[in-house]
Amino acid sequence: MRVISVKTMKKIESNNFKNKNSFFFMKKAGQGCAKEILKINKSKKFLIYCGPGNNGGDGFIIGHELINKGHQVRIISTTHISQYSGDALKALRRLKIRIDENTNSTINKNELIVDCIFGFGLNRNIKKKYKNLFKRINKSKNKVIAVDFPSGINGDTGQPMKHAIKADYTLAIHSKKFGHILNEGKEYAGAVRVVKIGLKESVKKNYCYENCPSIWLKKFPKKLKSSHKYTRGKLYIFGGDEDTAGASILSAMSALKVGTGSVTILGNKKIIKLAQIIFPSSLKINCESFEQFANILKKFRITNFLIGPGAGLNKKIFDITCFGLKKIKYVTLDGDSLSVFKNKPKKLFLLLNKNKILTPHDGEFKNIFPRISLKNKLKATSLASKISDSIIVLKGYNTIIAAPNGDVCINTNSTPELATIGSGDVLSGIISSLVGDSKMKPFHAACAGVWLHSEAAKKFGKGLIAEDIIKNIPPVLNKIL
């Protein structure tokens, strides 16, 4: 599903209001929301809170529609009715009931609350007079449906502006916005339903995707009756030091589970011995130096390479990473293979292209993009992708995937349980396994990998460790394929 910014939504509205008056669309929004509210809940009693702007006008239209259908409606305005103007005033004048201006009025137990106080444009902290109202609504056990946005949530960041209403459902007008799925916005919005009101989009591409299988499933590499291990692709993983050998083994396990034909771990003799015991399904090649790595590239046709999990921070890893980026078509960099470029980001950027995938967490991101602020992670990830000309996977609760051509995808099916050691190693293995000439392009592979990783973790629940993610990959694949 597409997700847009507040700025884009304002442009869409402005362009449409030139052809049809804005009140026409306010009526469509109110009517559409009233229908959706009745689908969600068959309650006969409604309490609608209307704010000072057009969101309040939407509330008046909703009230009018519900009254006409025979429902009992109370409307409380958070501002004096003499303050309304424009479309909101037109909507107010259609009502034939008394508007209550006392925000301290009792909330009855059997009333469904409709939040029409503030919309998507809120970008200031909530005033004290609303603080107590929001607390009362949140403390009540009444079901809450927010129109466009839960009041108090920033439309772009999803952050509460000090205080916000927690909704059970949110009716997003025209499209989801970033604030519905980012940060705390996802929790505050509850279940989001989109209400279309006939707005035409004449704005050039300026949106993101919410990560889901419909984006990439058709491109997902499925096993065919004619498939064999060589047609399924080969992934080579650099194993690093024996003390951190578990990281590369986790990557190898997850890659093979997702369906790559073979996984080869490159490492010293101790790692090879350990991998032989823990994960005999993987192939192993002894590689203890840069010179050996260079010879391996001459001997084998390697087109897909993962380096970083447990690799170590030293000159050998720096040299191997640089050489691999030069010689191998598809490369995924994770962990240490990113951190070795701290204070040398320009050297890294010269070696990158659209076939390379970088999977940093916040700290690693700052090491290679020190001048990009993470205050707005969506903009930061997109800018980093364009600067580096590569796919960026900025890991976090809302992992963001960005491509140099401007495509951006936000992952929303995550779980806090993924904050555990080894989780990132599993993710890099999943992503790497999906990339290839006859498989997925790096951007779609990254989107698919992030979603699968999150879904497998969610399926397990509490007490998750990295190995549990791998165990749950097959059930998730069975569900979607």
What is the per-residue pLDDT across 402-458, written as a single tens digit (0 to 9) for each? 999 999 999 999 999 999 999 999 999 999 999 999 999 999 999 999 999 999 999
3-state DSSP assignment of residue 285 = strand
d(CA 246, CA 53) in angstroms, rounded, equals 57
* Least confident range of 18-22, 48-52, 172-176, 278-282: 18-22
| Max CA separation in the chain (angstroms) | 84
- Residue % of the chain over a pLDDT of 90: 82
239 pLDDT above the threshold of 90: no
**pLDDT tens, position by position, 367-411:** 999 999 998 899 999 999 999 999 999 999 999 999 999 999 999
Report the candidate in 377, 365, 375, 357 with the shortest Cα–Cα distance to residue 432: 357
Least confident of 242-246, 258-262, 356-360: 242-246
Give the pLDDT confidence score for residue 434 in this predicted structure: 97
Using alpha carbons, list the distances in angstroms from residue 409 to 101, 174, 187.
43, 19, 19
Residue 472 above 90 pLDDT?
A: yes
User: Global pTM?
Assistant: 0.89
The Cα-based distances of 15 to 8, 11, 207 in angstroms read 11, 6, 17
Residue 11: which H helix or E strand, with range?
Answer: helix 6-17
- Which domains, from first to last, does the chain contain? 2-205 (3.40.50.10260), 213-480 (3.40.1190.20)
Question: Nearest-CA neighbor of 302 among 285, 319, 277, 281?
Answer: 285
The reported pLDDT for the residue numbered 230 is: 73
CA contacts within 13 A on the Cβ side of 132:
8
Q: Name the nearest CA neighbour of 142 among 168, 160, 173, 161.
A: 168
pLDDT given for residue 54 in this prediction: 93
When the pLDDT of each residue in the chain is averaged and rounded to a whole number, the result is 93
For residue 203, the model assigns a pLDDT of 62
Dist. CA 140–CA 49, nearest whole Å: 14
State the Cα–Cα distance between residues 363 and 276, nearest whole angstrom. 33
* DSSP H stretches of helix in 156-268: 178-181, 185-189, 213-216, 245-258
pLDDT (average), residues 170-177: 96
pLDDT at residue 297 greater than cutoff 80: yes
